[in-house]
């Protein structure tokens, strides 16, 4: 599997989760044939323009959105970049079709964001936190999850289950997984 990380964290925060994740997941290993790419975005318009071009996504099985999120209700649910907020219905239609999508943005694992996001973008699965997650805890979760998916050939659902079981009580954050189609391991 190949992973595309869409890094949308403000540079001024000095916390670049996507870059840290990519650095860890691409440590030399003689047995891996894995691609992890990072694309940075500051502006909403640039992210949406990039996602509209299906050719940019065709080589990836997994997409990881790294940024901020806020969910108060159906009308106030968005993925936040430095310059702009994206509501679920603003993502290009079917842009994540047949892809496993993970959102490392606080609260975006709530139904008010995920349900319209799935309807709009058509991913195979979605994984995200349902509340605020400390940076270090998020990194621990994602490194464990993607190590299983990318380096051990585990399905995203199984990787989520194993990661959640392993880190239960050790990290803060309620991650939730939605599978939108049947997968076999």
Q: What pLDDT digit, counting tens, does each position of 126-185 carry?
A: 999 998 888 889 889 999 999 999 989 899 999 999 999 999 888 877 899 999 864 444
Q: Specify if 68 maps to a domain.
A: yes
Confidence check: pLDDT of 29 > 90: no
- For residue range 53-96, list pLDDT tens digits in order: 988 999 999 999 999 998 887 678 999 988 899 999 999 999 99
Whichever domain contains 10, its CATH number is 3.40.50
What is the pLDDT, as a whole number, of residue 184? 47
Q: Specify if 94 maps to a domain.
A: yes
What is the pLDDT, as a whole number, of residue 97? 95
CA–CA dist 43, 121 (Å, integer): 20
If one counts the domains in the chain, the total is 1
Q: Specify if 111 maps to a domain.
A: yes
Confidence check: pLDDT of 20 > 90: no
* Burial category of 184 from C-beta neighbours within 10 Å (exposed 0-12, middle 13-18, buried 19 and up): exposed
The boundaries of the domain holding residue 76 are 3-179
* Burial category of 179 from C-beta neighbours within 10 Å (exposed 0-12, middle 13-18, buried 19 and up): middle
What is the pLDDT, as a whole number, of residue 185? 44
What is the pLDDT, as a whole number, of residue 41? 94
CA angle 104–106–109, rounded 5-degree value: 75
Q: Specify if 184 maps to a domain.
A: no
Q: Specify if 185 maps to a domain.
A: no
Q: Indicate the pTM of the whole model.
A: 0.90
What is the pLDDT, as a whole number, of residue 99? 96
Residue, of 116 and 185, whose pLDDT is higher:
116
What is the pLDDT, as a whole number, of residue 182? 45
Q: Specify if 127 maps to a domain.
A: yes
């Amino acid at each position: 599997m190949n992973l595309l990380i869409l890094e949308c964290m403000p540079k001024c925060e000095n916390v670049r989760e996507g870059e840290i994740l990519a650095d860890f997941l691409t440590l030399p290993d003689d047995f891996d044939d894995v691609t992890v790419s990072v694309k940075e975005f500051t502006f909403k318009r640039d992210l949406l323009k990039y996602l509209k071009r299906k050719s940019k996504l065709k080589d990836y099985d997994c997409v990881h959105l790294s940024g901020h999120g806020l969910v108060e209700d159906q009308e106030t649910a968005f993925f936040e970049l430095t310059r702009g907020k994206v509501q679920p219905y603003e993502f290009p239609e079917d842009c994540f079709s047949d892809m496993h999508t993970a959102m490392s943005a606080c609260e975006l694992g709530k139904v008010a964001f995920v349900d319209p996001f799935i309807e709009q973008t058509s991913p195979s699965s979605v994984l995200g936190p349902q509340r605020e997650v400390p940076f270090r805890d998020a990194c621990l979760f994602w490194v464990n999850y993607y190590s299983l998916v990318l380096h051990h050939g585990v399905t995203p659902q199984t990787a989520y289950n194993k990661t959640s079981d392993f880190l239960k009580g050790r990290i803060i954050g309620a991650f939730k997984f939605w599978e939108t189609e049947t997968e076999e391991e």
